[in-house]
Amino acid sequence: MNKKNGAHGIILFVIAAAILVIFLFPFWMVLINSSKGPFEITNDPLGLPTRWGELPGNIAKIWTSPNIQYQSSFFSSIVVTAGSLLLLNLLSAQAAWALVRTHSKASTLVFTAFVAAMVIPFQIVMFPLLSWFRAITQLTGIPLLRSFQGILLAYVGFGMSQSIFMFHGFIKSIPLELEEAATIDGCSRAGIFWRIVFPILKPIQATVLVLNGIWIWNDYLLPLLVLGKGNEIMTIPLAISNFAGAYVKQWDLIMTAILMAMVPVVIFFLFAQKAIIKGMVAGSIK
Amino acid sequence: MRAKRDHALVFWLFLAPVLFAFVMVLVVPFVLGFWYSFTSWSSDARDLSGIHFRGLSNYVVSLKDPAFLYSFLITSGYTLVNMVVVNVVSFGLALLVTSRLKGRNFFRAGFFVPNLIGGLILGYVWQFIFNSAIPELGVFFGIKAWADPNNLMLARSFPALIAIVIAGTWQYAGYIMMIYVAAIENVPVELHEAAQIDGAGPFRRLVAITLPMASQAFTITLFLTLVNSFKQFDVNISLTAGGPSTIFMGKPIFGTELLAMNIYNTAFRSDYLAEGQARAVIFFVVLAIVATIQVYANKKREIEL
């Protein structure tokens, strides 16, 4: 019996390892081909690079490439992602709490509208969004296209429904007694939320941050429309696509650019692996 | 009385920011979108003053366009195949990493990593793999079909669509796997033990215990994969960019242009904004109907089990 289990275990392990090799193969390709020149990458895309020393040179080329604007794109991606996450987290949490703790027709109606909005695909609102943003800018002078405030507003709008929905489910399970006690102690309504409720929301905040973070960091279509390619503000996906479009055949540099886009994310994953996986699963089941 | 007024005030104050974003980004564009789809809206006539009502003509033209019909056809096929492949692979992986496998957590994380890479970026990586790495692998392993440059997957429409399925599965399987893992681990161990004592083998236990107990997870995963496949855009753009071209109903068209891309290209490349919007409305209606039917059917199945 034991012996059979042992053989069984080895077979399982070999199968899993073989699949893992296939899953990690694309990462391997990016890594080895980032350190090749244009000749080598065409002649020998599978082999190890003859000189790993090519890598710093390629990185320097991407670092200074006018098409990719790596430093400013990376900065823009951080601003867009962090800003959207901060706003989505705070605004959705307080809205969800207000909706859960208020029993009125308005409250039910607003929540139903938010939930219904989750089925709206981006495709049906994306073109009118542009003309609407342009009209607002003409009217108020506040630029919404090609600007940080515009894309932050868009991400709050497109991310809030799901975030509120997740917060809503969590807040419902928090006993009301906690808040009642604070009221008796003279805590104001807003104070109750920020001092008592918000800290309790930590686990669900992690979920909301992870789900929105992966989405916003990698998103392509929304930044493409709101920010546009080749303008002052580009996110990493926009920059990569701008670069790949400009140098269709320079695979060595494209691979380097992709490597530089991947590494920060993979490092982040290694550190926050548990929270990320838990967050992704919890978010999908809600 | 003061407390009640305070309550109402805080309610609206707390809701104000998201309501503002909701109206600005979803409500107004959604309503405008329906209106635009019946008009002559274009990049020359962007303002409300310059456009006029055209009735259903954008819809009629769209439904007569071979490129749009073809996109609909391949998107339906792609969605169906992708749903099956992603879910079969994910469920298989989930069984693997919930078995008595050494280093389970390591494998889970490994299968999950591709999910962190955005569709646009991974499309480029896979383009390189299909065009450069696969022929070399063919030479290396002596597989003639892979090594032949005439056989490149991205060079013909049908294999190129399969390529999108492969790249999409690579990205998404780890995520769906995690949902199945959570479901499988929720099955009480006692159930398996009792069945084992009654003489049920691993396969019998899978069919009789694991599958029914995971039925709620199937509702979620099928819904997620359906919506995601139907909306596929990023991988499409960077992996095939719609090519290669093909002939459909006597007209040369893009061979791998999925719906989301067709909508985008109609609006911007061809500069028919209103027509692109009409296609987006059709896209929305079809997706909403199919997703509703699917969730409804799955819920019914869940109860029956």
Query: Tens of pLDDT along B282-299?
Result: 999 999 999 889 888 888
Query: Please, which pLDDT band fits residue B246 given cuts at 50, 70 and 90?
Result: confident
pLDDT at B83 over 60: yes
**Encoded tokens for A32:** 């080895």
- Whether B47 maps to a domain, the answer reads no
Q: Convert the pLDDT of each residue in B16-41 to its tens digit.
A: 999 999 999 999 999 999 999 999 88
Closest residue in A to B21 (Cα–Cα): A157
What number is the average pLDDT over the span A54-83? Answer: 91
Q: What share of chain B is helix, strand, coil (3-state, %, to 5)?
A: 80, 5, 20
Give the burial class of A267: count Cβ atoms within 10 A of its Cβ; 0-12 exposed, 13-18 middle, 19 or more buried. exposed
**CATH code of residue B207:** 1.10.3720.10
pLDDT at A180 over 90: no
By the CB < 8 Å criterion, does A218 face chain B?
yes
Mean per-residue pLDDT over chain B, rounded: 90
Is A26 in contact with B182 (Cβ distance < 8 A)? no
B118 and B173 in a single domain? The answer is yes
Nearest to A29 by CA among B112, B144, B136: B136
Tell me, what's the pLDDT at B139? 87
User: Quick check: B277 and B89 in contact, CB under 8 A?
Assistant: no
pLDDT at B147 over 70: yes
pLDDT at B120 over 60: yes
What number is the average pLDDT over the span A21-47? Answer: 91
Whole-angstrom Cα distance, residue B90 to residue B181?
A: 9
B27 and B144 in a single domain? The answer is no
Which of A33, A156, A237 lies at the smallest CB-CB distance from B21? A156
Query: Please, which pLDDT band fits residue A160 given cuts at 50, 70 and 90?
Result: very high
Q: What is the pTM of this model?
A: 0.91
B27 and B64 in a single domain? The answer is no
Is B231 in contact with A44 (Cβ distance < 8 A)? no
Q: Closest approach of chain A CAs to the CA of B195, in angstroms? A: 19
B68 and B31 in a single domain? The answer is no
Q: Closest approach of chain B CAs to the CA of A155, in angstroms? A: 9
* HSE-up of residue B202 (Cα within 13 Å, Cβ side): 5
Give the burial class of A176: count Cβ atoms within 10 A of its Cβ; 0-12 exposed, 13-18 middle, 19 or more buried. exposed
A interface test, pick of B6, B7, B9, B10 with most A CB neighbours within 10 Å: B10
Across the A:B interface, residue pairs with CB atoms under 8 Å apart total 246
B7 and B116 in a single domain? The answer is no
Which of A23, A160, A284 lies at the smallest CB-CB distance from B220? A284
Q: Convert the pLDDT of each residue in A202-219 to its tens digit.
A: 888 988 998 899 899 999
**Alpha carbon A75 to chain centroid distance?**
15
- Whether B129 maps to a domain, the answer reads yes
How many distinct structural domains can be found in chain B? 2
Whole-angstrom Cα distance, residue A222 to residue B20?
A: 19
The CB-based long-range contact list for A201-205 (8 Å cut-off, 24+ gap) reads A201/A93, A201/A167, A201/A170, A201/A171, A203/A170, A204/A166, A204/A167, A204/A170, A204/A282, A205/A89, A205/A93
Whole-angstrom Cα distance, residue A207 to residue A255?
A: 31
B26 and B103 in a single domain? The answer is no
By the CB < 8 Å criterion, does B117 face chain A?
yes
Nearest to B180 by CA among B102, B118, B109, B96: B96
- Whether B51 maps to a domain, the answer reads no
B151 and B209 in a single domain? The answer is yes
Angle, CA A63 vertex, CA A61 and CA A68 arms, to 5°: 95
By the CB < 8 Å criterion, does B181 face chain A?
yes
Q: Count CB atoms within 10 A of the CB of residue B18.
A: 26
Tell me, what's the pLDDT at B44? 64
Is A29 in contact with B47 (Cβ distance < 8 A)? no
Q: What sign does the dihedral B166-B169-B171-B174 (CA atoms) show?
A: negative
Cα distances (Å, whole numbers) of residue B290 to A74, A117, A205, B227, B263: 39, 17, 32, 9, 19
**Domain A66-246 grouped into CATH 3.40.50.720:** no
Tell me, what's the pLDDT at A1? 39
- Whether B237 maps to a domain, the answer reads yes
User: Where do the structural domains in chain A lie, given as residue ranges?
Assistant: 66-246
By the CB < 8 Å criterion, does B175 face chain A?
yes
B293 and B150 in a single domain? The answer is yes
B26 and B61 in a single domain? The answer is no
Q: Count CB atoms within 10 A of the CB of residue A192.
A: 21
Cα distances (Å, whole numbers) of residue B240 to A207, B101, B186, B244, B285: 33, 37, 40, 8, 27
**Which residues 149-208 of A are in CB contact (within 8 Å) with B?**
153-154, 156-158, 160-161, 164, 188-190, 193
**Which residues 208-247 of B are in CB contact (within 8 Å) with A?**
217, 220, 224, 227, 231, 233-234, 237-238
Whether residue B114 is preceded by a cis peptide bond, meaning omega within 30 degrees of 0, is: no
- What domain range is B110 assigned to? 57-304
Helix axes B66-98, B259-268, angle to 10 degrees: 140
Query: Please, which pLDDT band fits residue B209 given cuts at 50, 70 and 90?
Result: confident
Whole-angstrom Cα distance, residue A219 to residue A263?
A: 17
Whole-angstrom Cα distance, residue B26 to residue A236?
A: 25
pLDDT at B43 over 80: no
Cα distances (Å, whole numbers) of residue B252 to B65, B70, B246, B247: 11, 11, 6, 4
Q: Which residues of A touch B136 (CB under 8 A)?
A: 44-46
B69 and B13 in a single domain? The answer is no
Query: Please, which pLDDT band fits residue B304 given cuts at 50, 70 and 90?
Result: low
pLDDT at A17 over 90: yes
User: Quick check: A115 and A161 in contact, CB under 8 A?
Assistant: yes
Q: Closest approach of chain B CAs to the CA of A73, in angstroms? A: 15
- Whether B123 maps to a domain, the answer reads yes
Q: Which residues of B touch A19 (CB under 8 A)?
A: 93, 96, 111
User: Quick check: B209 and B195 in contact, CB under 8 A?
Assistant: yes
By the CB < 8 Å criterion, does B290 face chain A?
no
- Whether B273 maps to a domain, the answer reads yes
Instruction: Render B181-209 in DSSP notation, one character per residue.
Output: HHHHHTS-HHHHHHHHHTT--HHHHIIII
B174 and B121 in a single domain? The answer is yes
**Which residues 84-103 of B are in CB contact (within 8 Å) with A?**
93, 96-97, 99-103
B28 and B66 in a single domain? The answer is no
Please compute Rg for chain B using Cα positions.
Answer: 24
